């Protein structure tokens, strides 16, 4: 129903235990509207880390030994992995795992962490191909992998322009 459902995002909480909502409302003295604003704008990576909503800043802080950054990075990747497993169960397997968007295209360490220990579903990740691979279309799985892992760069500006042209021109 809202963009807060699903994965942890830059400022959004992602999935949350419904029982936590009245607790947060009491603790932060929030009404329903303020709670919605809180979950959408003050949670997620930024709220958990107290550093930034940008995973590049989190990675930098991790490299400096910041424990909160390490914890947020682990939470973020755990949730992605959990969703992959859930969808693999619902879809009776995985043919392809695509990394895209800012983190998917640019964070080698996130891709590596997410794909670690997924051999049980036939995913054989190539760490060497992944190293320093950024912003270009590339396959990151080994040739014998049953699951293709790849990076596909986004072009959101093109899609917006293309959709706008289709609406205007028909």
> Would the pLDDT of 135 be above 80?
no
Under CATH, what is the fold of the domain 94-170? Answer: Nucleotidyltransferase; domain 5 (3.30.420)
What is the structure's pLDDT at 11? Answer: 85
> Would the pLDDT of 31 be above 80?
yes
> Would the pLDDT of 71 be above 80?
yes
Confidence of residue 34 (pLDDT cuts 50, 70, 90): very high
Residues 151-168: tens digit of each pLDDT? 999 888 888 998 999 999
Q: Where in the chain is the domain with CATH 3.30.420.40?
A: 1-92, 94-170
> In angstroms, rounded to a whole number, what is the distance separating the alpha carbons of residues 96 and 102?
19
Residue 4: HSE in the Cβ half-sphere, 13 Å Cα cutoff: 17
Other beta carbons within 10 Å of 59: 18
Does residue 35 sit in helix, strand or coil? helix
Averaged confidence pLDDT in the chain? 92
What are residue 118's DSSP bridge partners? none
> Would the pLDDT of 10 be above 90?
no
> In angstroms, rounded to a whole number, what is the distance separating the alpha carbons of residues 42 and 61?
19
Please give the CATH number for the structural domain made up of 1-92: 3.30.420.40
Residues 114-126: tens digit of each pLDDT? 999 999 999 999 9
- Residue 106, C-beta contacts closer than 8 angstroms, at least 6 positions apart: 56, 134, 135
| pTM for the whole structure | 0.82
Q: What is the mean pLDDT of residues 17-45?
A: 93
Other beta carbons within 10 Å of 129: 16
Q: Where are any strands of DSSP class E within 21-139?
A: 96-99, 138-139
> In angstroms, rounded to a whole number, what is the distance separating the alpha carbons of residues 170 and 165?
8
What is the structure's pLDDT at 59? Answer: 94
Contact in structure between 77 and 58 (CB atoms under 8 Å): no
Confidence of residue 75 (pLDDT cuts 50, 70, 90): very high
> Would the pLDDT of 67 be above 90?
yes
Contact in structure between 12 and 43 (CB atoms under 8 Å): yes
Q: Does residue 117 come out as left (phi exceeding 0), alpha (psi in the -120 to 50 range) or beta?
A: left
Confidence of residue 130 (pLDDT cuts 50, 70, 90): very high
């Amino acid at each position: 129903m809202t963009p807060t459902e699903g994965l942890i995002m830059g400022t959004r909480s992602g999935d949350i235990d419904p029982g936590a909502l009245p607790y947060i409302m009491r603790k932060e003295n929030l009404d329903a509207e303020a709670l919605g604003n809180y979950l959408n704008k003050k949670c997620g990576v930024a709220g958990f880390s107290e550093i930034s909503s940008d995973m590049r800043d989190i990675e930098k802080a991790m490299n400096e030994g910041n424990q909160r950054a390490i914890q947020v990075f682990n939470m973020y990747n755990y949730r992605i992995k959990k969703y992959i497993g859930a969808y693999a169960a619902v879809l009776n397997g995985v043919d392809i795992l695509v990394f895209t968007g800012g983190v998917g295209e640019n964070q080698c360490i996130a891709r590596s962490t997410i794909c670690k220990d997924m051999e049980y579903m036939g995913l054989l990740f190539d760490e060497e191909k992944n190293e320093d691979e950024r912003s270009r279309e590339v396959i990151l799985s080994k040739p014998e992998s049953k699951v293709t892992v790849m990076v596909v760069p986004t072009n959101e500006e093109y899609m917006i322009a293309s959709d706008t042209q289709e609406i205007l021109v028909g």
